[in-house]
Amino acid sequence: MKLLLQEIRRNPLLWLLVFVPVALAAEKLNHEAHTLHFVLS
């Protein structure tokens, strides 16, 4: 786990992984907000 966190800190592109659960939660909460889903994805 420590190695994974170090790799995420070193690679800024992996910081975007934070937004994956946000996009999935938004889809579950509001099925009709297609523009919001597009922006979050």
**pLDDT at position 16, please?**
85
pLDDT in tens, 1-41: 899 889 888 998 888 888 888 888 888 888 888 887 788 77
Reduced to 3 states, what is the DSSP secondary structure of residue 29?
A: helix
**pTM of this prediction exceeds 0.75:** no
Q: How far apart are the first and last CA of the chain?
A: 26
**CA 27, chain centre distance (Å):** 12
